[in-house]
Copies of this chain bind each other. A is one copy, B any other.
Amino acid sequence: MEQKQRVGEKSPQAMPRPGGRAARIQAAVFKAVDELKQAGEELTVPAIATHAGVTPSTIYRRWGTLAELLSDVAVRHLRPDAAPPDSGDWRADLKGWLEQYAEEMASEPGRAMIRDVLAADRTDNACVCSAYTGQQLDVIRQRALDRGDSPPDTAVLMDRVVAPVIYRILFGRETPAGEYVAGLVAEVLGDGEG
């Protein structure tokens, strides 16, 4: 018989058997990570396992390493929960969105999440993460297109605006300020089209 495969979610962390238990345990473990992080506890696999009411070996067998688990937790939080606000002025929306994005990513939790995503051996989470960003930009661009405007390509926005912000967060001594971010947007809008 052929595969029926009605996968409930296409979330990170492929679940070859999407029955209730797998999901329940995954949720418990993710919650445990969040709660321990919140509480400022040491994030170790045994600690997470205990807090989640699960055996360490369960975590090791599902995720392999702590880094992979933390990476999955991070992408989860990096998934945007809403489309960028729509003010009717897509340039302003772009600027606003980027300012918020930069602030969020430059914050300590934000930086930690990026670090966690990148620390995993598996590279997919990083791609997913940047795909989320691209999708947000696409939403803003689509609104511009709908109004007959011609916004820069998503790839251009990623290169000119997202990449510099992330680069500075990862490699810079000080975190990118709002003024700097606004400058990036102004530039890409300024020379992308008259």
- A90-B164 Cα distance, complex, nearest whole Å: 23
- Tell which of B127, B167, B170 touches A173, judged by Cβ atoms closer than 8 Å: B127
Q: A40 near B: Cβ within 8 Å?
A: no
Q: Contacts A115-B119, A118-B115, A119-B119 hold; do A159 and B170 have CB atoms under 8 A apart?
A: no
A7 CB, min distance to chain B CBs, angstroms: 22
- A191-B130 Cα distance, complex, nearest whole Å: 27
A188 CB, min distance to chain B CBs, angstroms: 10
Q: Which residues 137-191 in A have Cβ within 8 Å of B in the complex?
A: 158-160, 162-164, 166-168, 170-173, 184, 191
Q: A129 near B: Cβ within 8 Å?
A: yes
Q: Contacts A159-B184, A164-B159, A184-B159 hold; do A172 and B115 have CB atoms under 8 A apart?
A: no
Interface size on A, residues (CB 8 A): 22
Copies of this protein chain in the complex? 2
Q: A59 near B: Cβ within 8 Å?
A: no
B residues within 8 A CB of A167? 130, 158-159, 162-163, 166-167
A9 CB, min distance to chain B CBs, angstroms: 21
Q: A126 near B: Cβ within 8 Å?
A: yes
Chain A 89-119 interface 0/1 with B at a Cβ cutoff of 8 Å (1 = within): 0000000000000000000000000010011
B residues within 8 A CB of A173? 127
- A172-B130 Cα distance, complex, nearest whole Å: 7
A80 CB, min distance to chain B CBs, angstroms: 15
B115 to A171, Cβ gap below 8 A? no
- A164-B156 Cα distance, complex, nearest whole Å: 10
B171 to A126, Cβ gap below 8 A? yes
A171 to B119, Cβ gap below 8 A? no
A165 CB, min distance to chain B CBs, angstroms: 8
A60 CB, min distance to chain B CBs, angstroms: 17
- A159-B185 Cα distance, complex, nearest whole Å: 12
